Amino acid sequence: MKREIKKAEGKLGILLPGMGAVATTLIAGVLASRKGLSKPIGSLTQMGTIRLGKRTDKRNPLIKDFVSLANLDDVVFGGWDLFTDNAYETANKAGVLEKSDIEPLKDELIKIKPMTAVYDHKYLVNLTPNNIKEGPTKMDLAQQLMNDIENFKKENNCSRIVVLWCASTEVYSAQTDVHATVETLEEGLRNNDPNISPSMIYAYAAVKLGYPYINGAPNLSCDVPAMVELSHRTNTPIMGKDFKSGQTLMKTILAPGLRARLIGLDGWFSTNILGNRDGEVLDDPGSFKSKEVSKSGVLHDILEPELFPELYGNTYHKIRIEYYPPRGDFKESWDCLDIFGWMNYKMQIKINFSCRDSILAAPLALDLALFIDMAKRADMRGVQEWLSFYCKSPQTAQGLPAQNDVFKQLEKLENTLRYLKGEDLITHLGLDYYENELFA
């Protein structure tokens, strides 16, 4: 059955809580693409195609021609940050992009100035902000954010808004009673409950207004029952969490291969060095804990140790992130996999990935924003698990195990698009190509 997707008409405002390295790399890349200065490499919405029908039909349209997505020319960026620097200043300080790539965009970047942010020292200890809102209650802060969103929408003549958390990783916190229902959450906002973090206040403001919300970091944010309930009540799509960009992307590419060939795994040691502000924040044990939890879940679900105790029952998975300022955004990761095969013979795989963190994350942020805007226009609401392709720790329906295998995640995304458009789902069965030949 085909679902109606309303056309992407008018401007789309992408509002970013957190206008640091990822956010400014995203903005600069979109501006550069518009000017024809660079290609949006790594973005499925901009460069990806989708197969429709049989292999022999040769129907492979661009995804952006198949479903109605906002055009990059119609995107307007804004956001909030703890610091007053505009997007031009931040892009220069972040050290991701070359000056020669930033200068042609200067006039537009300079105009993107962060609004005052919602901050709580309990959830972020390593930074000293100079651009924050005053309470007195968390509900007042949420109301101020809602005003910011509506003013931005009006001033920029946007027809739609998406809010995408690109801010620092908050100190680890677990779900508590205040996160149980919309009523308990609202009560907690009014009473300044300490278990409500800034990212939850942004999520609440967006979802309450019916604007899609995405969480690019590993902290809880919209991944609590109250926020899911609110997203249903306001018919709003939400998704999180944590962009699946570097080491975890590699992990979820490689692990399905080991599992497919039933190769055993004694251990997987992953370490990273990075020196950007993200690394500085993750140097705090509380923020690192959020990241560690998000990064460590992926192997379990792919390897299924319950089904294969001899192969994966004792896999030792260790993750380290080390803050090392000289490296800036040029993260380097090392992975050592101790594997075993036929007759228990031991082998090793070593990966050394010298990546650029924000270069990998920016296209994911763009795709998430454009796809969740489409979801809203298709009247989808609640958790958008089909976007788990982009997430290190995908949010799912309560109690439902996540799917972390990146190939299955891509199939899920593509089949969702086919489903929405009334096209046949692709199972790769392929028996129809051998109609009279396969069975005697």
* Selected binder of ligand NAD within 66, 77, 80, 386 (CB under 6 A): 80
Locate 137 and state its tokens: 């209650």
Phi and psi at residue 42, to the nearest 5°: 95, -5
Looking at the DSSP bridge assignments, the partners of residue 272 are 321, 333
Contact present, 370 and 389 (Cβ < 8 Å): no
Which residue has the closest beta carbon to ligand NAD? 20
Q: How far is the CB of 300 from ligand NAD (least distance, A)?
A: 19
| Amino acid letter, 134 | E
* Selected binder of ligand NAD within 52, 82, 369, 378 (CB under 6 A): 82
* Selected binder of ligand NAD within 8, 12, 21, 299 (CB under 6 A): 21
Question: Nearer Cβ to ligand NAD, position 20 or 237?
Answer: 20
Number of H helices, E strands in the chain: 16, 11
Locate 370 and state its tokens: 């454009």
* Selected binder of ligand NAD within 173, 276, 403, 409 (CB under 6 A): 276
The stretch among 165-173, 250-258, 371-379, 399-407 that binds ligand NAD (CB under 6 A) is 165-173
* Selected binder of ligand NAD within 52, 166, 319, 420 (CB under 6 A): 166
The stretch among 2-10, 224-232, 272-280, 366-374 that binds ligand NAD (CB under 6 A) is 272-280
Q: How far is the CB of 277 from ligand NAD (least distance, A)?
A: 3
User: Cα dist. 71→18, 64, 290, 324, 417 in Å?
Assistant: 23, 9, 34, 39, 18
The stretch among 135-143, 184-192, 243-251, 301-309 that binds ligand NAD (CB under 6 A) is 243-251
CA proximity to 67, closest of 287, 402, 371, 305: 371
167 binds ligand NAD (CB under 6 A): yes
Q: How far is the CB of 281 from ligand NAD (least distance, A)?
A: 6
The stretch among 6-14, 54-62, 63-71, 76-84 that binds ligand NAD (CB under 6 A) is 76-84
Strand pairing report for 213-215 and 237-239: parallel
Q: Quick one: CA torsion of 213, 214, 219, 225, rounded to 10 degrees?
A: 50
246 binds ligand NAD (CB under 6 A): yes
The stretch among 37-45, 220-228, 240-248, 332-340 that binds ligand NAD (CB under 6 A) is 240-248
Q: What angle do CA 75, 76, 82 make, to 5 degrees?
A: 135
- What is the enclosing helix (H) or strand (E) of 412? helix 406-420
* Selected binder of ligand NAD within 44, 70, 109, 117 (CB under 6 A): 117
Contact present, 109 and 86 (Cβ < 8 Å): yes
- What is the enclosing helix (H) or strand (E) of 272? strand 264-274
Site residues for ligand NAD per CB under 6 A: 17-23, 80-83, 94, 117-119, 124, 127, 166-169, 198, 216-217, 242-243, 245-246, 276-278, 281, 357-358, 360-361
